[in-house]
Structure 1
Amino acid sequence: MAEDFPLIVSKAVAESNKRFRDENSALQEENRLIRIEAAKLSCNLMVAEIDHSRLEDAMSAELRGARKEASDLPQKLHLLAQEKIELESKLVSYRLKVANLEASMKADAAKVENLEKRSADREVLLGKVEKERDDTKAELDRAQEENMRIAAELAQAREETRKLLKSLLGLAKKLKG
């Protein structure tokens, strides 16, 4: 019976070691999946930031063009008024041309209004993209905290296993001696 004890202890140590390796393997796989998910979230965040930057640049360029167009409108209006006076003094038939130019001005104003509306819509979209970016970053932070917690648990499990093996080896030495 006493001869079987070292065999029983070694089997118990082997089983415990196997369970530890299995748990360690599972934790490593879970850790690897968490890292992959974190990398994916980081990539998605980078893509969202690039899209946001591109969208912001396009909106800025479009807004600059609209503002320039809007600032040129008063000068165009003044020139058209002078031309109208000259044309009315020369020929009545040119009044039709002046009316067409005024209609063009109204169309330009409608374009400016439409651009301002689109700019407001894009600002709303930008807010949504920023919120998604912030949500993704928060999710990434939570995943990193979870990863750190799992790593701490794994280190603790390793330490406990090491202590258990040490005490089992000490016990086995005592039993042999």
Structure 2
Amino acid sequence: MVYTTIYDSPFGKIYMNSDGEYLTGLWFAGSKDNLKHIIGADKDDLPVFEDTHLWLDIYFAGGIPDFIPDIKLEEITPFRQEVIDIMMKIPYGKTITYGDIAKEIASRRGIEKMSARAVGAAVGSNPICIIIPCHRVIGSGGNLTGYGGGIQNKIALLKLEGNDMNNFVLPTRK
């Protein structure tokens, strides 16, 4: 069974999914990430939802939560897990490029190179935004690209974390 609740963030509604025990999804309402999730039965009082609400309250107040709600990533490949493990180590207020992650994985595996595009696909498959900080992954040259939660939310999250937005190249509409 899938359960869903909504968190009202400063940047709009955020949906949460749970299997009843673990957080299995976290995404901005109205974003491309909607396509990755189903809306389950309304349920606000699950302990994991309460923990996630608290985590988000601390985060959106400008704090750094000292815990992670219980999460479960379903149907995840070893490569995607490797990318998520790297994302989880990106410090608050810092960013890393898709290419940096690719280099780190190549080094770990003892291979010459790894595709930054493959890393981008793995980052894009992240079902739990913010807590697994895919918003901290940027394109080469500081390009702010590739956020399923919406580029405006990526920018807002990076600003919230105190990043100097002059260090980034904002996308232009064509």
TM-score, normalization: structure 1?
0.19
Which of 1 and 2 has higher RCO (CA within 8 Å, sep 6+)?
1
Which structure has greater strand proportion?
2
